[in-house]
């Protein structure tokens, strides 16, 4: 840990207790969505479009409905026409009409795998057989499966009702849902001052979050109109809002029970099965359980957008960046909403640049709608910019880390999308990377085994989300507390939230019993995501704990018959400032609550402040086999500013997990698409994610530059870890082979081609 400010002495923060939900998870007792079992439960499945782009002329469900064991069949006709209303949804802006079409096609299929019908039956086999009996009459249309095809003048229009926002003008009949622009300063003047100008275009394929648990949902629509949904989600309250909007029922009629979640990374914010399970349940009067199969997860959930990023950067003779431009085009999928906004905020974030010009395009294509994937929109542009910076540093003969230090953004500098940075840790992270054993070690570029070794470095940035959280703390008579919260625990947040409450209350983490509750049992909580949970749900817990202290201080005053102002709470005990005889620990006072006014429970709410984000710098050593093109990752170091690491093990876990995903994105992962819009590698065998055998230990160096907007200095850490990884790996492969790789993934075939071209064969 590298702490920059003098830290207060904390009792609990910074320690590594065992997480409260740990025993259930290592014994298999923890209940995930697919583990739900209810009396009378039946099973649902989805029939999906085999075509990437087709008009649905008719659907005949009669044969399916007659199959013994089938209880309900639904199509788009069973769904209301939802409002076309934009709503903020965790990490995205969602539109109810788009979402309604997305979860069940109405008159058109916009991607292969889009649901066109759903069946509920007594057992799964019957449901699957019934789905085969549903006859759909399609008029197959020409698809547009990437940005170029969708932006071409003769492109088929995918969403006929879409009105594009092109630089503020409404434009119908287009696949470009949004064209935004960000300009600061004067890039023409900036480029004139440059002595070196480099421009490159980069290309990325669609990749998936790769969570191991497929989407699931169980729904029961009761006779009293109350709908209960059990689901693995990053945000139970968003599920409630979304289902209410799609099915046009009041939110007060819906209760969402968040089950444990087997990974999300942004991909389990949007609903997929929930509205369908609900409608099936309404029709048959039974609880309906649905689960996606792995192929459907690949084809029909929300991967990260593929795209093209063109970057141009100018530097003066001293190596200072004078101007930078970018053209970013992302595949939104069949409905608008690729993360082009964050792309603009992140692309040049590690650098002080006064002259910037960025065009971004959100382009509808015939693929499943993209969703957030860990720092949505940032890894792609960071790949481009950090590769370009590496090229420039090389041209100038400058050490790439020194180049970054020379140009490093700091407090008061402006992001390319406008806001000034508050206190940030970019420079501290770079310095820690420079001082790291990895960077200080020598790499043998041409080892005796005949392979090629190289080292790469890259930086990256992500914001930390704020949004809203709410918790309840109740004091138990034995002096422990229960903490009821609404943040699904994906990565240890029960621990990090409890620890913040424990710190305030002078308790151990083990004395704070955290419980993730349903939407009827706790106040509103935005999603677990956006690098906001430890920060903002922690802040809510902090606020609740402060209120508990205030209330209990008043109780102590009552007990001792003194004025509240005479008392203090320190080191877990209430005492009189003037009379040392008057002292009770939290536990002791807790046993006397019934004598002083009854139970003590407080609600804490927080609206997190988003503004200070987290920087990361990654260093990677690779070894390339010149005969096979295989890349082995020999050594990896991730350096990141966490503000304050509440539970360092789980901060390290985020850093290591993000690095692994980034390595996969850089070297192997991609959607292999056929010309007619089908994914050809929709299994874990062929969509190749890193295994334990592909990776080395990943060193995580935590830097702590406190976040000015949080009482403990916490910065969000969940998303930054993936951002630098793509370019760090690409730059390392360049250092090993001499070739540049502007297209991801850097798979063995591409490496062999590059080596062959270099060697003139």
Partner 1 sequence: MVQDATVKTHVKTTINGELVEFLVEPYRSLLEALRDVLGMTGTKEGCNDGNCGACTVNLDGRIVDSCLVLAAEVNGKQLNTIEGMATPEGLHPLQQTFLEEAALQCGICTPGFLVAAKALLEKEPHPSEDSIRFWLAGNLCRCTGYDKIVRAVQKAAETPSKGSK
Partner 2 sequence: MAVVFIPTILRKFAGGRTTVQVEAATVGEVIDKLEQEYPGIRERLVNPDEEDRLRPGLATFVDGETSTEGLRRKLTPNAEVHFLPAIGGGAV
Residue 149 interacts with which of partner 1, partner 2, none, CB < 5 to 8 Å by class: none
Nearest to partner 2 of 178, 747 (CB atom): 178
Nearest to partner 2 of 256, 612 (CB atom): 612
Residue 428 interacts with which of partner 1, partner 2, none, CB < 5 to 8 Å by class: none
Beta carbons of 277 and 33 less than 8 angstroms apart: no
Residue 695 interacts with which of partner 2, partner 1, none, CB < 5 to 8 Å by class: partner 1
CB of 246 to partner 2, least distance (A): 16
Residue 431 interacts with which of partner 1, partner 2, none, CB < 5 to 8 Å by class: none
Residue 96 interacts with which of partner 2, partner 1, none, CB < 5 to 8 Å by class: none
The candidate with the shortest Cα–Cα distance to 668, out of 594, 726, 740, is 726
Query: Three-state DSSP class for 622?
Result: strand
Identified binder of partner 1 from the candidate list 1, 2, 3, 35, rule CB under 8 A? 35
Identified binder of partner 1 from the candidate list 65, 83, 165, 293, rule CB under 8 A? 293
Residue 526 interacts with which of partner 1, partner 2, none, CB < 5 to 8 Å by class: partner 2
Q: Please give the distance of CA 245 from its chain centroid, rounded to a whole number.
A: 23
Spatial separation of the C-alpha atoms in residues 230 and 345, rounded to whole Å: 36
The candidate with the shortest Cα–Cα distance to 296, out of 169, 451, 111, 443, is 111
Beta carbons of 70 and 126 less than 8 angstroms apart: yes
Q: Please give the distance of CA 515 from its chain centroid, rounded to a whole number.
A: 22
Spatial separation of the C-alpha atoms in residues 402 and 391, rounded to whole Å: 14
Helix runs in 270-399, H state only: 274-284, 294-300, 340-346, 378-396
CB of 82 to partner 2, least distance (A): 15
CB of 368 to partner 2, least distance (A): 17
Nearest to partner 1 of 299, 391 (CB atom): 299
302 near partner 1 (CB under 8 A): no
Element (H, E) at 663: helix 648-667
Spatial separation of the C-alpha atoms in residues 374 and 726, rounded to whole Å: 13
Name which of residues 194 to 253 contact partner 1 (CB under 8 A). Answer: 209-214
Nearest to partner 1 of 59, 702 (CB atom): 702
Spatial separation of the C-alpha atoms in residues 503 and 15, rounded to whole Å: 11
Beta carbons of 304 and 370 less than 8 angstroms apart: yes
Nearest to partner 1 of 100, 291 (CB atom): 291
Residue 69 interacts with which of partner 1, partner 2, none, CB < 5 to 8 Å by class: partner 1
724 near partner 1 (CB under 8 A): no
Instruction: With both helix axes pointing from N to C terminus, report the angle between 725-737 and 748-758 in degrees, rounded to the nearest 10.
Output: 40
Residue 657 interacts with which of partner 2, partner 1, none, CB < 5 to 8 Å by class: partner 1
436 near partner 1 (CB under 8 A): no
Name which of residues 69 to 108 contact partner 1 (CB under 8 A). Answer: 69
Contacts 24+ apart (CB under 8 A), 445-448: 445/735, 445/736, 447/623
Identified binder of partner 1 from the candidate list 64, 120, 261, 701, rule CB under 8 A? 261
Work out the angle at residue 389's Cα, subtended by the Cα atoms of residues 386 and 394, and round it to the nearest 5 degrees.
130
Bridge partners for 70 per DSSP: 121
CB of 553 to partner 1, least distance (A): 35
Query: Three-state DSSP class for 673?
Result: strand
Beta carbons of 207 and 671 less than 8 angstroms apart: yes
Beta carbons of 665 and 379 less than 8 angstroms apart: yes
For residue 616, give both structure tokens: 């990361």
492 near partner 1 (CB under 8 A): yes
Residue 598 interacts with which of partner 1, partner 2, none, CB < 5 to 8 Å by class: none
Residue 168 interacts with which of partner 1, partner 2, none, CB < 5 to 8 Å by class: partner 2
The candidate with the shortest Cα–Cα distance to 254, out of 264, 269, 239, is 239
CB of 304 to partner 2, least distance (A): 11
For residue 744, give both structure tokens: 């991801």
CB of 210 to partner 1, least distance (A): 5
Nearest to partner 1 of 27, 759 (CB atom): 27
Identified binder of partner 1 from the candidate list 84, 521, 628, 691, rule CB under 8 A? 691
Nearest to partner 2 of 287, 305 (CB atom): 305
Nearest to partner 2 of 228, 531 (CB atom): 531
653 near partner 1 (CB under 8 A): yes
Nearest to partner 1 of 18, 77 (CB atom): 18
CB of 700 to partner 1, least distance (A): 8
For residue 190, give both structure tokens: 């900036």
27 near partner 1 (CB under 8 A): yes
Nearest to partner 2 of 164, 214 (CB atom): 164
660 near partner 1 (CB under 8 A): yes
18 near partner 1 (CB under 8 A): yes
Q: Which spans of this chain sit near partner 2 (rule: CB under 8 A)?
A: 85-88, 90-93, 167-168, 180-184, 266, 339-342, 345, 372, 375-378, 417-422, 462-468, 526-527, 529-532, 607, 609-613, 709, 719
Nearest to partner 2 of 76, 530 (CB atom): 530
Nearest to partner 2 of 564, 607 (CB atom): 607
Spatial separation of the C-alpha atoms in residues 299 and 114, rounded to whole Å: 8
397 near partner 1 (CB under 8 A): no
Spatial separation of the C-alpha atoms in residues 112 and 53, rounded to whole Å: 7
CB of 308 to partner 1, least distance (A): 27
Residue 66 interacts with which of partner 1, partner 2, none, CB < 5 to 8 Å by class: none
What is the total residue count of the chain?
761
Spatial separation of the C-alpha atoms in residues 253 and 220, rounded to whole Å: 12
Q: Please give the distance of CA 573 from its chain centroid, rounded to a whole number.
A: 40
684 near partner 1 (CB under 8 A): yes
CB of 709 to partner 1, least distance (A): 26
Q: Is the dihedral of CA 324, 179, 299, 718 positive or negative?
A: positive
**Sheet bearing 512-516, strands edge to edge:** 512-516, 481-485, 467-475, 601-608
How many CB atoms are closer than 10 A to CB 496?
Answer: 28
Beta carbons of 170 and 265 less than 8 angstroms apart: no
How many CB atoms are closer than 10 A to CB 193?
Answer: 14
Nearest to partner 1 of 26, 761 (CB atom): 26
Nearest to partner 2 of 421, 671 (CB atom): 421
Spatial separation of the C-alpha atoms in residues 233 and 490, rounded to whole Å: 10
759 near partner 1 (CB under 8 A): no
649 near partner 1 (CB under 8 A): yes
Which DSSP string corresponds to 305-365?
PPEEEEEEEEE-TTS-EEEEEEEEEEEEESSS---HHHHHHHTTTTB--S-EEEEEEEEE-
Identified binder of partner 1 from the candidate list 149, 417, 503, 652, rule CB under 8 A? 652
Spatial separation of the C-alpha atoms in residues 409 and 416, rounded to whole Å: 11
Identified binder of partner 1 from the candidate list 421, 650, 709, 741, rule CB under 8 A? 650
Residues forming the site for partner 1 (CB under 8 A): 16, 18-19, 21-23, 25-32, 34-35, 37, 68-69, 122, 125, 209-214, 260-265, 291, 293-294, 490-492, 649-650, 652-653, 656-661, 683-685, 689-695, 697-698
């Amino acid at each position: 840990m590298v702490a920059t400010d003098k830290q207060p002495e904390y009792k609990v923060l910074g320690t590594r207790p065992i997480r409260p939900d740990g025993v259930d998870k290592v014994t298999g007792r923890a209940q995930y969505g697919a583990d739900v079992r209810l009396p009378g439960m039946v099973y649902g499945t989805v029939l999906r479009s085999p075509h990437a782009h087709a008009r649905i002329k008719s659907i005949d469900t009669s044969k399916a409905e007659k199959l013994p064991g089938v209880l309900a069949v639904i199509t788009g006709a069973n769904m209301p026409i939802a409002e076309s209303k934009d709503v903020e949804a965790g990490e995205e802006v969602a539109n109810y009409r788009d979402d309604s079409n997305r979860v069940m096609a109405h008159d058109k299929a916009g991607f292969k795998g889009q649901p066109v019908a759903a069946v509920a039956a007594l057992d799964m086999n019957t449901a699957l057989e019934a789905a085969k009996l549903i006859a759909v009459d399609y008029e197959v249309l020409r698809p547009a499966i990437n940005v170029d095809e969708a932006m071409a003048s003769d492109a088929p229009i995918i969403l006929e009702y879409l009105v594009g926002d092109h630089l503020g003008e409404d434009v119908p009949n287009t696949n470009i849902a949004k064209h935004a622009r960000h300009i600061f300063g004067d890039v023409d003047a900036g480029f004139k001052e440059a002595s070196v100008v480099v421009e490159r275009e980069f290309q990325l394929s669609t990749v998936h979050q790769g969570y191991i648990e497929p989407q699931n949902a169980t729904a029961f629509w009761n006779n009293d109109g109350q709908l209960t949904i059990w689901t693995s989600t990053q945000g139970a309250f968003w599920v409630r809002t979304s289902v209410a909007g799609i099915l046009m029922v009041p939110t007060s009629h819906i209760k969402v029970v968040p089950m444990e979640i087997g990974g999300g990374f942004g991909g389990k914010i949007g609903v997929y099965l929930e509205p369908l399970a609900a409608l099936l349940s309404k029709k048959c009067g039974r609880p309906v359980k649905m689960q996606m199969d792995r192929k459907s997860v690949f084809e029909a959930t929300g991967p990260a957008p593929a795209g093209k990023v063109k970057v141009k950067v100018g530097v003066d003779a001293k190596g200072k960046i004078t101007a930078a431009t970018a053209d970013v085009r992302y595949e939104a999928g069949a409905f608008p909403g690729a993360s082009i906004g964050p792309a603009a905020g992140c692309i040049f974030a590690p650098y002080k640049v006064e002259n910037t010009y960025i065009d971004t395009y959100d382009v509808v294509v015939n693929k499943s709608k993209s969703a957030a994937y860990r720092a949505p929109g940032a890894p792609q542009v960071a790949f481009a910019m950090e590769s370009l910076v590496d090229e420039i540093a090389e041209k100038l003969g400058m050490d790439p880390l020194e180049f970054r230090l020379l140009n490093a953004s700091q407090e008061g500098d402006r992001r390319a999308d406008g806001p000034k940075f508050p206190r940030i840790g970019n420079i501290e992270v770079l310095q820690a990377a420079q001082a790291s054993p990895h960077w200080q070690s020598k790499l043998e570029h041409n080892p005796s085994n005949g392979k090629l070794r190289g080292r790469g470095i890259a930086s990256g940035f992500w914001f930390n989300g704020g949004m809203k959280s709410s918790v309840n703390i109740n004091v138990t008579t034995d002096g422990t507390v229960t903490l009821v919260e609404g943040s699904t625990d994906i990565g240890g947040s029960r621990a990090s939230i409890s620890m913040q409450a424990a710190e305030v209350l002078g308790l151990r983490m083990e004395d704070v019993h955290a419980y993730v509750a349903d939407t009827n049992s706790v106040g509103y909580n935005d999603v677990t995501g956006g690098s906001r949970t430890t920060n903002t749900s922690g802040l809510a817990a902090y606020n609740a704990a402060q209120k508990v202290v205030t209330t209990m201080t008043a109780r102590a005053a009552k007990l001792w018959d003194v004025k509240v102002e005479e008392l203090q709470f320190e080191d877990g005990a209430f005492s009189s400032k003037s009379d040392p005889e008057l002292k009770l620990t939290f536990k002791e006072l807790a046993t006397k609550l019934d004598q002083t006014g009854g139970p003590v429970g407080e609600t804490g709410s927080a609206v997190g402040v988003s503004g200070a984000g987290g920087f990361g710098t990654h260093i990677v050593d690779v070894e390339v086999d010149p005969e096979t093109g295989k890349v082995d990752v020999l050594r990896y170091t991730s350096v990141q500013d966490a503000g304050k690491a509440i539970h360092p093990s789980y901060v390290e876990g985020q850093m290591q997990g993000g690095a692994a995903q980034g390595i996969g994105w850089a070297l192997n992962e991609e959607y292999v698409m056929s010309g007619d819009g089908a994914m050809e590698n929709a299994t874990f065998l062929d969509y190749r994610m890193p295994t334990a055998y592909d990776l080395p230990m990943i060193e995580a160096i935590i830097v702590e530059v406190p976040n000015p907007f949080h009482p403990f200095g916490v910065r969000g850490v969940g998303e930054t870890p993936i951002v630098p990884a793509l370019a760090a790996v690409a730059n390392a492969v360049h250092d090993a082979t001499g070739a540049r790789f502007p297209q991801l993934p850097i798979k063995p075939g591409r490496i062999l081609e590059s080596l062959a071209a270099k060697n003139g064969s």
